[in-house]
């Protein structure tokens, strides 16, 4: 038998796998903003009195709120249509402590609307904007299209610097990542990263995490699609790469699955008041996840989402219990084989394929 101090040190990646199915590590214990300083979160007497959960960007120790706002489809609304609900979403998001907004030039009018509403509410310079580049260029190595996209995004968002710039879905990644490095050195962006939502690309993402100098990786992670926790999340933790979790609601399919079903009684133990908080707390309780970015067009729903940043987070045992409960619901095992956005209609510039994507 070995003595307690004779065991070799466990690599951080292995530790994340062991614990992590999702316990929040000491290094990632949620902190809160208070008077400009971050302080440790203690157990609250009530959810309402608890402080906001924030997470640390590993490379800089900057702390950001653990719930952000996605904009795909949701904020792609033409100006001649009513956008009052989207303005209310932005206002509610901000008032609840939200700061991180994920956008892309490919999301139709999302950049335009986010920029307009941010100016209207006086929050332009205080938002944490995660944007993307999708550019192939006119020939191999051509960077001009990417340069134009950056300028257009800055103009639309009324910013002279963006917080995170990501290679959208790994498109032209070998050309764009070096360009992002140059932009970072020039001060045009603060952080660089890559994104994808399809598990088939996770191996390529892992190689970039391992071999690159990525500050961020944006990856699909939800209670229904947990493939990222096998290699992506441990690699990110080991390399000090922050993680944005996209599709935490699986394009509304999780809500369709639990429609009419009550929360399990044990959800009270982690201060969940609704299914949105149940799903989001699962995502952000993984120690490698920095922020989840759900999208919505409904102000009431954004209020529910932001509530996931208060109260208790699940530990490993609770996370296992949450998964087992979902596995007991008929159809959960086939959820990713159903079309995105069940029952929802959109009328922006972006047109989803018909039939709608699955996976």
| pLDDT score, position 50 | 79
CA–CA dist 81, 187 (Å, integer): 37
| pLDDT score, position 241 | 99
> In what side-by-side order are the strands of the sheet with 63-65?
37-40, 31-34, 54-56, 63-65
| pLDDT score, position 40 | 36
| pLDDT score, position 212 | 78
Coil vs helix vs strand at 195: strand
* CB count in 10 Å sphere of residue 203: 10
Is the separation of the CB atoms in 244 and 293 below 8 Å?
A: yes
Query: What are the mean pLDDT values of the chain's consecutive 10-residue runs (359 residues total)?
Result: 36 49 36 34 52 98 99 98 98 98 98 98 98 94 95 98 98 97 98 98 97 95 98 98 99 98 98 99 99 98 98 98 99 97 94 91
Is the separation of the CB atoms in 133 and 146 below 8 Å?
A: yes
CATH 3.30.70.260 matches 11-337: no
| pLDDT score, position 48 | 62
What tokens does 299 get? Answer: 């102000």
| pLDDT score, position 16 | 53
| pLDDT score, position 47 | 66
CA–CA dist 292, 295 (Å, integer): 10
Coil vs helix vs strand at 303: helix
pTM score of the predicted model: 0.88
The alpha-helical segments, DSSP class H, found in 96-244 are: 110-121, 144-157, 173-186, 202-211, 232-239
- Angle between helix 84-95 and helix 110-121 axes, rounded to 10 deg: 60
Cis preceding linkage at 129, omega within 30: no
Long-range Cβ contacts of 28-31 (<8 Å, 24+ apart) = 28/55, 28/56, 28/287, 30/54, 30/55, 30/66, 30/313, 31/56, 31/63
């Amino acid at each position: 038998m070995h003595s307690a101090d004779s065991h070799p040190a466990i690599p951080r990646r292995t530790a994340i796998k062991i614990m992590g199915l999702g316990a929040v590590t000491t290094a990632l214990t949620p902190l809160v903003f208070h008077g400009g300083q971050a302080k440790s979160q203690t157990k609250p007497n009530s959810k309402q009195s608890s402080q906001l959960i924030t997470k640390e960007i590993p490379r800089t120790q900057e702390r950001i709120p653990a719930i952000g706002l996605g904009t795909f489809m949701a904020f792609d609304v033409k100006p001649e249509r009513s956008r009052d609900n989207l303005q209310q979403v932005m206002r509610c998001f901000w008032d609840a402590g939200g700061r991180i907004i994920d956008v892309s030039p490919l999301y139709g009018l999302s950049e335009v609307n986010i920029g307009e509403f941010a100016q209207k509410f006086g929050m332009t310079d205080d938002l944490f904007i995660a944007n993307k580049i999708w550019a192939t260029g006119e020939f191999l190595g051509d960077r001009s299209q990417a340069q134009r996209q950056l300028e257009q995004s800055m103009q639309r968002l009324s910013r002279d610097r963006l917080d995170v710039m990501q290679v959208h879905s790994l498109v032209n990644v070998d050309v764009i990542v070096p360009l992002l490095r140059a932009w970072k050195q020039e001060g045009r962006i603060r952080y660089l990263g890559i994104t994808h939502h399809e598990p088939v690309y996770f191996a390529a993402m892992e190689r970039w995490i391992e071999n690159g100098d990525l500050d961020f990786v944006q990856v699909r992670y939800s209670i229904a699609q947990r493939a990222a926790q096998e290699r992506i999340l441990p690699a990110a933790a080991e390399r000090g790469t922050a993680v944005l979790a996209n599709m935490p609601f699986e394009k509304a399919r999780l809500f369709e699955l639990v429609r009419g079903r009550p929360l399990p009684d044990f959800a009270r133990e982690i201060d969940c008041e609704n299914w949105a908080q149940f799903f989001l707390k699962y995502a952000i309780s993984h120690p490698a996840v920095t922020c989840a970015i759900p999208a919505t067009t409904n102000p009431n729903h954004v209020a529910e989402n932001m509530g996931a940043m208060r109260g208790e987070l699940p530990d490993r045992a609770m996370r296992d219990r949450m998964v087992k409960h979902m596995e007991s619901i008929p159809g959960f095992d086939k959820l990713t084989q159903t079309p995105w956005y069940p029952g929802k209609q959109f009328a922006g510039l972006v047109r989803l394929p018909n039939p709608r994507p699955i996976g």
